[in-house]
Structures are given as C-alpha cells and as structure tokens.
Structure 1
C-alpha cells in the first residue's frame, strides 16, 4: 500500500500476499518480505524477482519464527531478521550472523559501515565489511523500556527505535537522547515527507467514530521533526 500526502491509500504493488516490511537501497532497489506459507524476500523494483526463499538448502520456514524486518544494502542484498539476523546477498545466498539475538528491527547507518538491530531491551551493533560480512557484535544501547521493535535513522546517524516507551532516540555514541511519547503502542517508524522532516509511525489499534476499539486495526501517525531523515534511503 501507498499513502499520499493527504493520507489516501492506494495499491502500489499487487499480489504481494502477506507482504510485510519494505526497504529501498541507496541505488533504488525496493525489497519486500513475505510472511505467507512460503516465506521469502522479493525485489519489487526496478525488476520484480525473487531474491531468497531458502537457507542452507531448506525453506526459510524451517528456520523457525516469522520473517520480520529488512534493510537493503547498496550491493543488491538485504539484511533481515527472523528470530536471528541474516543477510541475503545479490545472488540470494543467505548467511546467518550473531549470537544470543532476539531480533526485530534492523537498519544500516548512512555510510553502511554499521548495522543496528534491536535485541529485546538493547540495540546491538555490527561492523559491516566491504563485502557485507558482519563482525564485532556488541551492545550499542539499552532502551528505557522493553519491546524494541522497528527502527530508522536520520541524516546525522541517530537511530530511532519503537519501544514500549514510544520512539527512543539513540545518539551516534550509543547514549539515549530522548523519547518521543506516543499514546498507543508503536510498531515501526520511517522518515518521509518534504525534505524528510516527517517521522511516520505505525501504531497498533484504532477506534471507530464512537470510540470503540477496532480489532486488528492500525494507525499511521505523522510527527514533524527538526531532524532530517537520511536522503540516501527511504527507511
């Protein structure tokens, strides 16, 4: 789905089945994860094609858990989370990284030299080698609340993570800069809008005109910011 500047939805790509997270690389490649009976990662643009649907000769479904979030790199591959942390290169070869991870959101730094991934109550970081290999796993930051979920990054390299407290903002040095409070539990976030100074946040739940909670509903909020999202990628 696509939302225009007035919040009107339209179908951008059809037949994505149970499509989930999206990510656009610095070169404009758009990827989506699909969570259906056959979990996979598909490239939607500029050419629609399958990127990966297996790990070590077995379907991704056999890993266990549900494919969750994705971050596209400039080499034609993606990092994705599925309980653990994985990388699918441009040829679709999937490699697993990290230890003792319970992952969710994943995002690359603007220079693509650091990868950040939520890990429960902490944000883990990895060094990214020129070939995409990940090294030096470490705890980068600890959240004020549990449930680290989706994440995005701004032009200065600050990381924004949705947690039980709202949207927590982490500086380049790993220190908490503040929390953007939200009235509902939030799932994911991304910069967009004019000059990328709007933080869009996906929240769980919604109410109808009578104030009754609507089952299986969600809302998208727009938060104006002084900070600017990184223009090299959509996420």
Structure 2
C-alpha cells in the first residue's frame, strides 16, 4: 500500500491552527495496541517459562471519538551554541497527525525523514519536497526504525507477539525470542532501537533493560539499567549511549557487538532523556521532554536548545543533513494523542555515515 500527498497540500497545514484539511488526514490514524496494553497478553504470559512481573501504565484504550489536539505554537528561539546552532533559530512544524509515539526517526538519502507511525501500524516517509507516502504497512504496532551502514532497515514491532523485524532488503522477523521465551515475557514497553555495522540491533524495553540481537537474531541482555529509553551509537560504533532517566549511560562496544564498561556518561540539564542523535563531530543530542541537550564527545555540556513540551525524539536530516528534526507529543498518551514533527536549522552537520 502506498499513499502520496503533494507539496501543495503540505503547505496548507503549515499555518496554525491545523485545519480539517491537514495533509495527514489522508493517512488513517487508527489505534493499534502495544503489547503491554493488549488484554490478550496474559494468555501469552501464561506460557512463559520465566515471566517478568506484569507491567502497566494507566491509560485509556477505548475510542470515544477521536479529537485532534491543537498543535502547539512553536515560539522558542535557541541561544547560540558555538559550532552547533546560531542564536535566534526557531523550530518549524513540518508534519502533524492524530496518532502517537513515532520513535526511531531517521534520515533518508534525499534529505527527508522516515518514521514509524505506532498507532496506524505503518512507516511513513516525508520527503524534502513535502510529499509523503506510506512505505510499509501492516506492521504490528511498529514504533521505531533504524538503518545500518549497509542499508539494512529494521523495525521494532510493539504489538502482541513483539519482535524486531528486518524490512530491507527482505521483510521478515529478525528476532522475537529471549532465552527461548517470547519477547512479550519480558514485560515493559518496547521502546527504541539502533542497528549496527555487524548486522545486529541494540534495543531497549523500558522496565526490562537493554538488549542486543546479533546478526543471527540471538538476543543477550546487558547492564543493570531498567529505565532505558533512547539509544544511539557513536560514529565509529565503539560506544553505545543509552538514556536512563536524567542520566545518559555509556558502554564500550566490543568487536562482536557485546557491551562492557557500563558507566554514567552525562547528566541532563533538565527532564528525562528520550531519543538521541549524533553529529559528524560525535556530539550527542538528547531530547529531554521540552528541549535538546548537547554534549561534546568528551561529555562536556555545550548548551540546550529549547523546544516545546513533549519533545521526545531527534534526528539530523535535510539539505546537507544540517537540520535537526524532532517529534513532539501533544495531549495524553492514548488514542487521542497527536504528534508533530518539527525541525530547526543547524550549524552542525549530522553524521553522514549512517541514517542516524
């Protein structure tokens, strides 16, 4: 299935407030359940050999009538961060839709972005010229994507019977087991992933921890961090960064993809860490819930790029990969939530050797 929307219709929604003719209205918002929300999960857990304690977050899963929350007016202006961003730069909205929890935002070769639309169980590509299309459909509540240096594309399926799926070059389940049990037995929220140069995938399950699926799909768990959320590899892939609430944890990456030397790398200036990105100099960009903290490769705090509340994922793309894109969540988590994708011009250039 492929749906396209043109630049003309895209421009129609850049003025606020977003009207009923919002370009994303062409895309069914739907509402797909994540595994931890699914009432059938207990049937799966009943057959787990080593089930983790049940996990839940109070939220509505009914559909009383979808009402699009008004998108936020983006008014914050950034202070200067030398070599990173000029003073006075502002975020602009480039996409808005009803539906929540796109994670794993990545760049495309043409300077656009690709993101997994959790609620509608699809993957959308937003091109630099403003056109948009569904490039993958019928995912199982797919909520994050990652592309490695070889071009292989991976998706995290968050629905019941959770899995890491390889979408390219050939679509198939990459892994859905941990120590012989379904991944669902771990409980928690399937959150984010980053694909490495070895053909493996690091992924996080909030409340369960950090995991690595090697090129054969065999999954191992690393560290003792259970507040995991976003993660990203350094440009040379010798360091893995993982968010853990207000702290960013770092690991050394060994030649086989295994992880050693867990350590606290930096503490955020505010909020809790979510999605992350890196630039060509190895600087780390961490979304905090209302801004983006920037750190040097040595862990020095360089500054903060203010943004709207709900800012929870970041990636470089655009012309010469000199725009920082972010996802913001409007409204409460649940069927009436809505996302915006925003961007801001940068001096820094995103890392060119990998999609993210």
Q: TM-score range by the shorter chain?
A: over 0.9
Who is 2:146 aligned against? Answer: 23
Matches within 5 A, 1:6-85: 6-83=129-206, 84-85=209-210
Q: Within 1, Cα distance between the matches of 2:144 and 2:216?
A: 20
State the SS of the aligned residue for 1:195. Answer: helix
Shift of 1:64: 1.1
Between Structure 1 and Structure 2, whose CA radius of gyration is higher?
A: 2
Flag as ranges the 4+ runs of structure 1 deviating above 4 A.
Answer: none
| Number of residue pairs the alignment of both structures matches | 228
Aligned residues of 1:29 and 1:45 also touching (Cα < 8 A) = yes
Deviation of the 1:38 alpha carbon: 1.1
Higher relative contact order (CA 8 A, sep 6+): 2
Could you tell me which residue of structure 2 aligns to residue 234 of structure 1?
355
> Take 1:167 and 1:216, find their aligned partners in 2: how far apart are those partners?
22
Q: In structure 2, what is the equivalent of residue 218 of structure 1?
A: 339
Deviation at 1:42, TM superposition (A): 0.5
Query: For residues 190 and 136 of structure 2, what CA distance do their matches in structure 1 show?
Result: 20
Tell me how far 1:101 sits from its aligned partner.
3.5
**Do the aligned residues in 2 keep the contact of 1:24 with 1:30 (CA within 8 Å)?**
yes
- Residue 136 in 1 paired to residue 261 in 2? yes
TM-superposed CA distance for 1:165, in Å, is 4.2
- The 3-state SS of whatever aligns with 1:215 is coil
Whole-angstrom distance in 2 between the partners of 1:23 and 1:172: 22
Give the Cα–Cα distance (whole angstroms) in 2 for the partners of residues 190 and 201 of structure 1: 7
1:50-199 → structure 2 map (5 Å cutoff)? 50-83=173-206, 84-199=209-324
Unaligned runs of 5+ in 1: 207-213
- Give yes or no for contact 1:198–1:224 (8 Å, CA) kept in 2: yes
Task: Give the whole-Å Cα distance in 2 for the aligned partners of 1:14 and 1:101.
Answer: 31
What is the TM-score of this pair, normalised by structure 1?
0.94
Indicate the SS of the match to 2:292.
Answer: strand
RMSD (CA atoms): 1.3
Does 30-39 or 95-104 show the bigger shift?
Answer: 95-104
Structure 2: gaps of 5 or more residues: 1-123
Higher strand share: 1
1:6 positional shift: 3.9
